[in-house]
Amino acid sequence: MHRRLIAPGALATASLMLAIPASAAGFSPGAPGIGDPYYPAYGNGGYDVSHYDLRLKYQPATDELEGTATLLARTTQDLSRFDLDFLLDVSEVRVNGAKASFTTSGEHELEITPKSPLAKGTSVTVVVRYSGVPSSKQAYGFTSWHRTPDGGVGANEPEAAWWWFPSNDHPLDKATYDVSVLVPDGSQAISNGTLQSTSSRLGWTRYTWRSDKPQATYLATLAVGKFDITTGTTDGGIPVVNAYSKDLGANYGAARASVERTGEIADWLSRYFGPYPFNALGGYVPNTTTGYALETQTRPFYSPRQFANGSNTSVVVHELAHQWYGDLVSVRGWKDIWVNEGFARYAQWLWSEHEGEGTAQELADYVYASHPADDAFWTVKPGDPGPENQFDIAVYDRGALALQALRNEIGDEAFFAVLKGWPQKYAYGNASVADFQRYAEEVSGQPLAALFDTWLFQPSKPGTPAARDASIAKSAQAADASAQPKSWKKIAATNDVHGHGE
């Protein structure tokens, strides 16, 4: 962790000390990272954001974004200074109404020094005025803002916010959002949640979106472009808003034939995971050249490439499964990524079973049989893969295999009770792989440490005895690496579901 140390030179400067009120003597800067060992500079210390109000204007022709972000936060320590994560150009910052001084540091830190120090446990309002061309900004050599012929899109994991709003960028600090974006008439702005209003004036149209349940920063999204918008309502009564770039060419039909299944698939998933946890639903397909999809809250992002070989409901199942496993319950730290991806992949296996294209057991057997023991696949530990392997295929396939092993160990009744109970237990919060093991032990009444260690934490292929114990690849037929289930190719076509933009 990159914790800030107080430089001895600063302490020796008596005049600086005198400038700080006596009551502020113990005040110190908030840490520039929230404390995630995978990404030490991500998020920040010293405060917790409860709400983001983003009032923006975007010009698709030039990719110019400008606006004002108002953050409502609460301090968690006595603060002399604090950071936000952001890349665009800031013109003014106010804290509790008073102008604050600010500077930038590191790859994406905006350091803010309020006029008066902030006492622990108090409410703080931070206003940041800014502008810039998001696609011109890079951190660590990449950008998560994707230009399209008709506008731009901010969607990536673990980082997307830096390019369009200042934030405490880590899933541990969830907040609600109002996102209001002014775009030229004829363009639309797509974001999370419900569309509260649209209004047009003097050639510009304002789209106002509201996401009223806690949402992680990487799950906030903005897309501006020329979209066809469809609406509907699920059997469960959730309003659906989907958006498709008018410019998807030959992928248009397949994209629409897939994403229009959103309501049906969400209702189907709720049988396994419990009631759909948000008041809005949908998906959007901008004309990006990226390949991945992302579970942006209530309204996943899909790349056109996901539909290049025809419709693919499996990717919709994956991203919607994340609404429970990833969005409702988010990772505590990025090492816990299996709690997202193992389950979203397993949902694809359940969908395959539902569609009669191969059972979860057959898919698990195939994963086990098709990777020989010397395959690097087995060196990745889904339970703690390391930042370099956070989105490795093993986190998905070995991760889902581990769930089949768990299912076989504790039986269907306990397994499906765990799948449904977990999202409720940690609803709108965060949880770790260890929390999941504890919960599965509690529900099943069985000790599971050895099983989790074998399938999630050993950097090697579980041996034949362990596989037999977990009823994986038990028969000669099941151990046949050529027995590829029918759904395999469709599922594999969604493998590029996350990742950094090119």
Dist. CA 300–CA 284, nearest whole Å: 6
In the complex, least distance from residue 229 CB atom to Zn ion, rounded to whole angstroms: 25
Tokens of residue 500, six digits: 């950094």
Least Å distance between CB 258 and Zn ion? 16
* Beta carbons of 163 and 154 less than 8 angstroms apart: yes
Structure tokens at 293: 């999809």
In whole angstroms, the minimum distance from the beta carbon of 343 to Zn ion comes to 9
Q: Residue 260 or residue 319: which is nearer to Zn ion going by CB? A: 319
Q: Which is nearer to Zn ion, 75 or 221 (CB)?
A: 221
Please give the full DSSP string across 138-186, using - where no structure is assigned.
Answer: -BTTB-SEEEETTEEEE--SS--GGGT--B--STTS-EEEEEEEEEETT
Judged by beta carbon, residue 400 or residue 478, the one nearer Zn ion is: 400
Sign, CA torsion 42/44/48/50: negative
Find the part of the chain contacting Zn ion (CB under 5 A) among 92-100, 201-209, 375-383, 494-502: 494-502
Phi, psi of 26 (to 5 degrees): -90, 5
Residue 394 binds Zn ion (CB under 5 A): no
* Measured distance CA(139)–CA(445) in Å, rounded: 47
CB of 306 to Zn ion, least distance (A): 12
* Residue 497 C-beta: closest distance to Zn ion, Å: 5
Interface segment toward Zn ion; rule CB under 5 A; list 36-44, 194-202, 234-242, 493-501: 493-501
Using CB under 5 A as the binding rule, whether residue 367 contacts Zn ion is answered as no
Between 341 and 409, name the residue whose CB sits nearer to Zn ion.
341
One character per residue 322-341, x = contact with Zn ion (rule: CB under 5 A): -------------------x
- Report the C-alpha gap between 227 and 248 in whole angstroms: 10
Distance linking the first and last C-alpha atoms of the chain = 28
Cβ distance to Zn ion smaller for residue 341 or 362: 341
491 binds Zn ion (CB under 5 A): no
User: Per rule CB under 5 A, is residue 294 in the interface with Zn ion?
Assistant: no
**In the bound complex, what is the minimum distance in angstroms from residue 415's beta carbon to Zn ion?**
21
Cis peptide before 158 (omega within 30 of 0): yes
Establish if 269 lies at the interface with Zn ion (CB under 5 A): no
Residue showing the smallest CB distance to Zn ion in the complex: 344
Burial class of residue 84 (count of CB atoms within 10 Å of its CB; 0-12, 13-18, 19+): buried
| Of 260, 304, 303, 258, nearest in space to 282 by CA | 260
By the rule CB under 5 A, 497 interacts with Zn ion: yes
Taking the alpha carbons of 277, 279, 285, 286 in that order, is the dihedral positive or negative?
A: negative
Give the interface segment with Zn ion, choosing from 212-220, 237-245, 258-266, 492-500 (CB under 5 A). Answer: 492-500
Nearer to Zn ion, 69 or 347 (CB): 347
Residue 219 interacts with Zn ion (CB under 5 A): yes or no: no
Residue span binding Zn ion (CB under 5 A) among the ranges 124-132, 155-163, 189-197, 343-351: 343-351
Task: Name which of 204 and 272 has its Cβ closer to Zn ion.
Answer: 272
Nearest CA among 137, 54, 59, 132 for reference residue 89: 132
**Nearest to Zn ion of 36, 327 (CB atom):** 327
Contact 39, 158 (CB under 8 A): yes
Out of 224, 344, 393, 418, which residue is the one contacting Zn ion (CB under 5 A)?
A: 344
Nearer Cβ to Zn ion, position 491 or 497?
A: 497
How far apart are CB 275 and Zn ion at their closest, in Å? 21
Closest distance to Zn ion from the beta carbon of 300 (Å): 9
CA distance 94 to 103: 13
Q: Could you tell me the smallest distance in angstroms from the CB atom of residue 344 to Zn ion?
A: 4
Q: Which of residues 26-45 bind Zn ion (CB under 5 A)?
A: none
Helix, strand, coil in percent for the chain, rounding step 5: 35, 30, 40
Q: Partners of 126 in the beta sheet?
A: 71, 95
281 or 344: whose CB is closer to Zn ion?
344
By rule CB under 5 A, what count of residues binds Zn ion?
A: 3
Rounded Cα distance, 327 and 329, in Å: 5
Q: What is the distance of C-alpha 266 from the center of its chain?
A: 18
Rounded to whole angstroms, how far apart are CA atoms 182 and 205?
Answer: 5
In the complex, least distance from residue 468 CB atom to Zn ion, rounded to whole angstroms: 30
CA–CA distance, 33 with 52 (Å, rounded to integer): 19
Least distance in Å: CB of 371 to Zn ion?
Answer: 20
Residue 393 touching Zn ion (CB under 5 A): no
- Contact footprint for Zn ion (CB under 5 A): 341, 344, 497
